[in-house]
Amino acid sequence: MKNLYVLGVLFFSLALSGPVAAQDTSVCMQDLSIFAEYVKVKNYSSAFEPWMRVRENCPDINVAVYNYGERILKDYIENGTPEEVERSKKDLVKLYDEWVQNFPKNKNKNVVGDIISSKAQALLDYDLADLKVVYTTFDEAFNKDAASFTNPKHLYNYFKTLYDRYKAGDSEVSMEMLFNKYEEVSEKFDFETTELAKKLDVILKKEEAGTALTSREERRKRVYNVNSKAIGTFLSNLDAIIAKEATCENLIPLYKRNFNEFKSDAIWLKRAASRMDSKECSDDPFFVTLVEALHTLDPSADSAYYLGLLNDKSGNADEALRYYEESIALETDNYKKAKILLKIANKFKIAGKRSSARNYANKALGYQPSLGRAYLLIANMYADSANDCGDTQFNKRAVYWLAADLARKAGSVDNSLSKIAQRTAESYTGRAPSKTDIFTEGNEGVVIKFDCWINRSVTVPKL
């Protein structure tokens, strides 16, 4: 009898739970529709109550509970009463935790890194935790799901919080730890830059072919340009703060001290060589030790490039070129190949071999049309050659028109360079012949050919 009683109660409970659950879901769907419409028209105060009901009763019904909820709470933080502001700041952090629990994926892709990094940014922005907690939260996001941790501001602050702890004398943060984290974060920036460039290059190639973009492609191009500018800004900020610590005086003793421990670690060797190269520490004999160890352990495009650099510094130009070409041949990724080619172009520019520098810069653009720095490099060399080209003062200064055009091109293909490209173009245009000069010479519309290494021509603008 007892068993029959238990079964009866269980049956009765199940019979009741079905309709109740269905009813709750129905109510939640109605409230979901209501608060979503309010959010769309930015009426966040009216959206709050139906949103909270859905959040409490049906937290896993739809991701809008969280991405729209984020908007609602951020509006209260910006426009609410002092009590609402403080409550909403704490609730936003709680919302991110609930988001990870109920919707860790979006369209079958993990978004945990994005959500947790947003939580860390909120802790930082609203001063809700100390730097150690903020950094630990960013670190959790990066280690759990680096793929979706793509927000450039969050990536920058991930490193900046560690840097601030280091500068404050936090005993848990060593210089070595700081440099290692910089390398990880800068490599992530490089990866995101390349992924964005791949998308933008598809559009640029279509434009170069003279094919009109669709409205969807125009929208995408605008988004890519905005993202590119953001990445460029925060990456520049990242490089600026590490530059204060990553001096040859700090790097060389650190790498020497750790060499025996890491001489079998290709990643460590590659990062150390890269940092010494970028900070112009490659004249130190220890750089040779690093490069030889790297090439012995893992012959690669990077190690071949550094061997080329060493031969360049020793005056072995032919041997250097052989290693540079080997570096390009060993690299299979076109975007990494473009970066190597641009590095080589810069080395030739510094050596005064302008024609070779332009050649390698153009090769780099062949692999990555959005590599604006290649255009800037060529523009700078043209401008530097003004006095060496042309048979009259007017013609010499006309070189600046050519340089300005390339500088503008750099900004048009890479929005992260838009400001520096614009300033550079304006500077070159200011050095070119004025309207008065054109009128006085009477050569409006004349084509001027430069027979020096530039071997290009420019048309004098019409008045």
Query: What does the pLDDT look like over 114-160, one tens digit per residue?
Result: 999 999 999 999 999 999 999 999 999 999 999 999 999 999 999 99
Q: Which of 109-123, 290-304, 432-446 holds the top average pLDDT?
A: 109-123
Residue 434 lies in a domain: yes
Are 392 and 456 contained in the same domain? yes
Cα 223 from chain centroid (whole Å): 14
Question: Does one domain contain both 289 and 305?
Answer: no
* Nearest one of 16, 115, 135 to 63, comparing CA atoms: 115
pLDDT band of 91, cuts 50, 70, 90: very high
User: Whole-angstrom distance between the N-terminal and C-terminal Cα of the chain?
Assistant: 106
The pLDDT, as a whole number, for residue 17 is: 38
The CATH number linked to 304 is 1.25.40.10
**Does residue 263 register a pLDDT over 50?**
yes
Instruction: Indicate the residue among 340, 369, 398 that finishes a domain.
Output: 369
Given the structure tokens 């903020």, which residue do they identify?
134
Across the range 9-31, mean pLDDT stands at 58
Among candidate residues 369, 390, 412, the one where a domain is terminated: 369
Mean pLDDT for the stretch of residues 393-410: 96
284 with 317, same domain? Answer: no
Confidence at residue 138, expressed as pLDDT on a 0 to 100 scale: 98
Q: Are residues 462 and 426 in the same domain?
A: yes
Domain that holds residue 399: 379-463
Q: Are residues 357 and 398 in the same domain?
A: no
Per-residue pLDDT for 369 more than 50?
yes
Q: How many residues does the chain have?
A: 463
pLDDT digits (tens, 9 = 90+) for 304-332: 999 998 998 888 988 999 999 999 999 99
Q: What is the pLDDT of residue 451?
A: 87
Q: What is the mean pLDDT of residues 180-201?
A: 94
Span 187-203, mean pLDDT?
94
Q: What pLDDT, on a 0 to 100 scale, did the predictor assign at position 317?
A: 86
Confidence bin at 10 (pLDDT 50/70/90): very low
Return d(Cα 378, Cα 424) in angstroms, integer. Answer: 12
* DSSP code, position 283: T
Q: Say yes or no: 309 and 291 in one domain.
A: no
- Cα torsion angle, 191, 182, 226, 151, sign: positive
Would you say residue 432 lies in a domain? yes
Name the average pLDDT for the chain: 92
In a shared domain, residues 345 and 288: no
- The contacts of residue 149 (CB under 8 Å, 6+ apart) are 113, 114, 117, 141, 142, 155, 158, 188
- Kindly state whether residues 409 and 448 are assigned to the same domain: yes
Does 360 fall in a domain? yes
Structural domain tally of the chain? Answer: 3
Instruction: Say what the pLDDT of residue 362 is.
Output: 97
The encoded tokens of residue 27 equal 């109510």
Nearest to 271 by CA among 336, 167, 181, 334: 181
Q: Is residue 384 part of a domain?
A: yes
What is the structure's pLDDT at 314?
Answer: 87
Query: pLDDT tens across 21-49, in order?
Result: 445 789 999 999 999 999 999 999 999 99
Q: How many CB atoms are closer than 10 A to CB 259?
A: 16
Please tell me whether residues 427 and 454 are part of one structural domain.
yes
What is the reported pLDDT for 252? 94
User: Residue 16: is its pLDDT beyond 90?
Assistant: no
pLDDT at 333 over 70: yes
User: How far is Cα 186 from Cα 22, in angstroms, rounded to an integer?
Assistant: 50
Beta bridge partners, 458, equal 448
Residue given tokens 């900020």 in the structure block = 237
Cα separation, 224 vs 236, whole angstroms: 18
pLDDT of residue 12: 34
Q: What is the mean pLDDT of residues 335-364?
A: 94
In this prediction, what percent of the chain has a pLDDT beyond 70?
A: 95
Q: Report how far Cα 270 is from the mean position of its chain's Cα atoms.
A: 21
pLDDT at 4 over 50: no
Is there a single domain that holds both residue 310 and residue 348? yes
- Is residue 387 assigned to a domain? yes
Confidence at residue 24, expressed as pLDDT on a 0 to 100 scale: 78
* Residues 108 and 84 sit within 8 Å (Cβ to Cβ): no
Tell me if 187 is assigned to some domain: no
Average pLDDT over residues 264-274: 93
CA within 13 Å, CB half, 24: 14
For position 23, what pLDDT does the model report? 52
Share of the chain above pLDDT 90, in %: 87
Write down which residue in 260, 295, 330 finishes a domain. 295
- Co-location of 329 and 341 in the same domain: yes
pLDDT of residue 315: 87
